[in-house]
Amino acid sequence: MRELYPPIEPYYEGKLQVSDIHTIHFEESGNPQGKPIVLLHGGPGGGCPPHYRQYFHPEKWRLIMFDQRGCGKSTPHAELRENTTWDLVNDIEKLREHLGIKKWVVFGGSWGSTLSLAYSETHPERCTGLILRGIFMLRQKELRWFYQEGASYIFPDAWEEYLKPIPVAERDDMLRAYYQRLTNPDMQIRLEAAKAWSIWEASTSRLLPDPELMQKFGENEFADAFARIECHYFINKGFFEPEDYLLVNVERIRHIPAVIVQGRYDVVCPMISAWELHRAWPEAEFIIVPDAGHSMSESGITSALIEATDNFC
């Protein structure tokens, strides 16, 4: 089993204004002369914690990480205006051009896999490889499974907490009910919903529950951006038309070297999505981790990702 590389600090941090409203925070770490790779974090709204740097050999990679619109150190915080999948795809290109990078490897898990697919299908000529984990294509069956009915059968105890902010009369459409609260001007109502939404995801992300992860996801600032931005994207169906846009357009990237890593018991992003992507894209290496859920920090997924990044550099 491969283990994380030692912690490192970025050698450069900066801000890039990407619209009249939004400025994104980015950082570079590793080797300035190394092979460029951009990490697309999950959520949307999750931001980039420092330990993400440890999945990449520090002497071989030039690692670029950035906080997507509205989250992490990007500003304004939890902003939903001018915040769509295609805005983020454009931001990635603006960042690449700003840094003077011709092509790069794209690394993304969960929502990051969604955005990686959207970006690479739009700009395949800019991608030298893809490393994807916990596949999520933001289709209605995936959203219904996790936010309406499905995952509740596996985590009924955590599900009860997720239901609490929503009156029984509104529970036939949980996304809509949460959206109304997460966009409410009353901060108390907004935070109650944000914490319940975020802790639900943290409670189900690992094969074995992680109390520290649940505590982090329940913090006011993180939960507000995470829940608001996620729900905003999900209520708008990811801004994809048709909803299976990413599968329909996979032909555009089948020539790009790729690895797909998927936990067998991923409840947040069930393996059916990774399997369907694998069937549409047989050229990509497909790795099933037999004893893992959703989180990239689970040992089997960590090992597979580090092996993939080592093989690409």
Integer CA distances (angstroms), 149 to 43, 155, 166, 270, in order: 20, 11, 15, 13
Catalytic residue (one of 266, 273, 295, 303): 266
Q: Which residue has the tokens 């069956």?
A: 141
Residue 57: Cβ-neighbour burial (10 angstroms; 0-12, 13-18, 19+) = middle
Cα–Cα distance for residue pair 54/65, rounded to 1 Å: 12
| 205 is annotated as an active-site residue | no
To 10 degrees, the CA torsion angle through 210, 216, 218, 221?
A: -160
| 29 is annotated as an active-site residue | no
Catalytic residue (one of 74, 110, 113, 152): 110
| 295 is annotated as an active-site residue | no
Integer CA distances (angstroms), 269 to 139, 166, 197, in order: 11, 23, 16
**159: how many CB neighbours lie within 10 A of its CB?**
17
Strands 258-263 and 127-133 turn out to be parallel
Cα–Cα distance for residue pair 241/223, rounded to 1 Å: 28
What are the residue numbers of the active site? 110, 266, 294
